[in-house]
Amino acid sequence: MDNINLKQVQADYNQAAAHVKKRIIICAGTGCIANGSLKVYEAFEKALEVTGLKQFVDLEANYHDDDHVIQLTGSGCQGFCGQGPLVNILPDEIMYTKVRPENVMRILEETVLKDKIIEELLYVNPADGQRSRGQTEIPFYKRQTRLVLGECSHLDPGSIREYIAHGGYFAAEKAFTQMTPEEVCQTILESGLRGRGGGGFPTGKKWQFTLQEAGPKKYVICNGDEGDPGAFMDRSLMEGNPHRILEGMMIAARAIGSDEGHVYVRLEYPLAIQRMTKAINDAMEAGTLGNNVFGSGHNMHIHIMEGAGAFVCGEETALIASIEGKRGMPKPKPPFPAQKGLFGKPTVINNVETLAAVPLIIKNGASWFNAYGTEKSKGTKTFALTGHVANTGLIEVPFGTTLHEIVYNIGGGVTDNDGDITNEGFKAVQIGGPSGGCLTEEHLNIEIDYDNLIKNGAMVGSGGMVVMNKQSCMIQIARFFMNFTQNESCGKCVPCREGTKQMLSMLDEIIDGTATEKTFNLLQDVAQVVKKASLCGLGKTAPSPVISTISRFRDEYIDHIVNKKCATNNCKALSDVFIDAEKCTGCTACSRKCPVGAISGEKKQPHVIDSTVCTKCGVCATTCKFDAVIGF
């Protein structure tokens, strides 16, 4: 394979793109696909065929000067997941939300051909009811700084030519042909980039440690084993801009003196695996991967490894064991992977988001990157914003952004359980996934960075951010995360294996109303033991949601244990069950179905439930046709 001429590929693509009159981009991330975006794409293909318009995806054709091409492509996740399927029309910067196949012909005839805007398909801001034309006007996008995610909104993830046209692989070429490994490491160190997978260790320092190790064989691993509940940042990057990940791996390989890399992706991410595999094959064919890359005399080969979905394999040593064909279980450190990693060789492991930032730093310089963020946390961070918030999705903000900005301005505000905006509804944010902690109203104005979050009992983690309203039971939240970590414990060390099981059991007792103050004290003691004595990061952080919720919502725990009450009525055994007299018609259906005879009342008169007899089985609630039974 001849060495690729990146500038020539870029020029050829841009020359072809100059003939594009309109570009239609359908979000083809996992979220929008689940909402039907592929059917929307197919509808556009058929509509363009019916109208006889010229449409191309890859811009390979030789166009005449008078050709006006309609380019139809998919993109990766555009971030605005709750509003999908999303359709963008360029160069007009129009974005339509919740598009259905039946809308397609109208979009083509009115917007693409006549430049008319279809008002009812525009995004409506829930705060003020105003419609926004496109991403440049929508608050969700306007208030973000999308450095790493930017190209995911419009780049065709299956086109290496378009990636190169946008400046792709130029940073890798620079690293291989114009920089020494020491210079690459120093640039990343000066940028202030820290690992985005949870630990926040300086990336440049990790690379320097690996470079210093002797030996002809070293490895680069991309950690795509994103296992946190509600987290989908890495998945979206692999789906939306796979070549950026490969380029980041190439630069990391140059920095440490490696010629081989592995992308470790969990099996539950089939679309990410598919697109990363295609990207590797296309890069090999184009010559950006393989032997003698960029004529530098250096080789680079990358392989895909599909993980079985074990959360513990997100830990470095467990991930290495999995790639080696062993059971994914952590090992004590030292030695660290930089010293003795994959197959006993020096290995650098970075997560997807970390590697995606690397080409931008090499291209634009360390000072460009560290102009964003805070003193000790440079750059931007992606977060998966979910839960009781109006605008759910994937966001990217500079470190130093406040929770208030994310929840109320980017997220559009807190919602109740019916999805309606509620001004007084904010209760907490669980940040950092199962390893993180809860932040409350008093933390809304703190600047988010690695140190501030740790200082306040939470952590950046991989970037999961779950917003909870005041209808949420915090003991239920703690139980949810504890159930997850207990299931995902590899079982190697006793504190994690048995401690998480016991904590889960005690949380169940609190929820079921059988716990005592002794249970509460024991829960706190066991949490500290698991935190201090567990072997790996999973075990050491597994108690974090429990410790955090006890710290912030101690009164809620006491109410459950002492008063046997759940103020939110989410704990069935502790909830108040009664019949709404205004809704009850006295049909007697509930009393006839009640297995313990707890319901009484005259026919055609409101009935009542005897709480001393009621077992809260829920039969009455499912039987009632008038929604008169309250508490389930």
Residue 496: give its domain's CATH number. 1.20.1440.230
Q: How is residue 133 written in tokens?
A: 């034309």
Termini Cα distance of the chain: 66
393 contacts 81 by C-beta, under 8 angstroms: yes
Separation of alpha carbons 445 and 442, rounded Å: 7
Answer whether residue 370 shows pLDDT above 90: yes
Pair 392, 463 in one domain = yes
Total of domains in the chain: 5
Phi then psi for 456, rounded to 5 degrees? -105, 20
Kindly state the average pLDDT of the residues 76-87: 94
CATH code at 416? Answer: 3.10.20.600
29-49, pLDDT tens digit by residue?
999 999 999 999 999 999 988
Answer whether residue 623 shows pLDDT above 90: yes
Pair 258, 164 in one domain = yes
Task: For residue 77, tell me if it sits in a domain.
Answer: yes
Separation of alpha carbons 81 and 101, rounded Å: 18
Pair 23, 116 in one domain = yes
Pair 360, 233 in one domain = yes
Q: Order of strands, edge to edge, in the sheet holding 464-469?
A: 393-398, 380-387, 464-469, 426-431, 437-439
Quote the domain boundaries for residue 412: 380-472
Task: Give the other-Cβ count within 10 Å of 424's Cβ.
Answer: 7
CATH code at 317? Answer: 3.40.50.11540
Please give the residue that has the higher pLDDT: either 95 or 616: 95
- Banded model confidence at residue 57, pLDDT cuts 50, 70, 90: low
pLDDT, position 58: 58
Pair 596, 526 in one domain = no
Least confident of 82-86, 214-218, 423-427, 508-512: 423-427
Least confident of 124-128, 133-137, 259-263, 289-293: 124-128
Kindly state the average pLDDT of the residues 148-157: 93
pLDDT over 90, % of the chain = 75
Smallest Cα–Cα separation from 86: which of 46, 55, 132, 49? 132
Pair 514, 588 in one domain = no
How many CA atoms does the CB half-sphere of 627 hold within 13 Å? 0
124 contacts 82 by C-beta, under 8 angstroms: no
- Banded model confidence at residue 63, pLDDT cuts 50, 70, 90: low
Task: For residue 375, tell me if it sits in a domain.
Answer: no
496-519, pLDDT tens digit by residue?
999 999 999 999 999 999 999 999
pLDDT, position 404: 95
Pair 187, 332 in one domain = yes
| SS3 category, 582 | coil
Classify strands 260-266 and 219-224 as parallel, antiparallel or unpaired: parallel
pTM: 0.90
Kindly state the average pLDDT of the residues 610-622: 86
Please give the residue that has the higher pLDDT: either 469 or 630: 469
Last residue of a domain, one of 73, 104, 138: 138
Strands (E), 244-364: 260-266, 301-307, 347-351
31 contacts 74 by C-beta, under 8 angstroms: no
Separation of alpha carbons 186 and 510, rounded Å: 52
Pair 26, 109 in one domain = yes
pLDDT, position 20: 86
Alpha carbon of residue 18 to chain centroid: 35
Separation of alpha carbons 531 and 539, rounded Å: 7
Pair 439, 547 in one domain = no
Pair 491, 522 in one domain = yes
Alpha carbon of residue 208 to chain centroid: 29
Q: Please list the alpha-helical segments (H only) found in 382-516.
A: 403-404, 450-455, 474-488, 494-512
530-549, pLDDT tens digit by residue?
999 998 888 898 899 999 99
244-258 burial, b if ≥16 CB within 10 A, otherwise e?
bbbbbbbbbbbbbbb
Answer whether residue 424 shows pLDDT above 80: no
DSSP string, 70-82: EEEEEES--S-GG
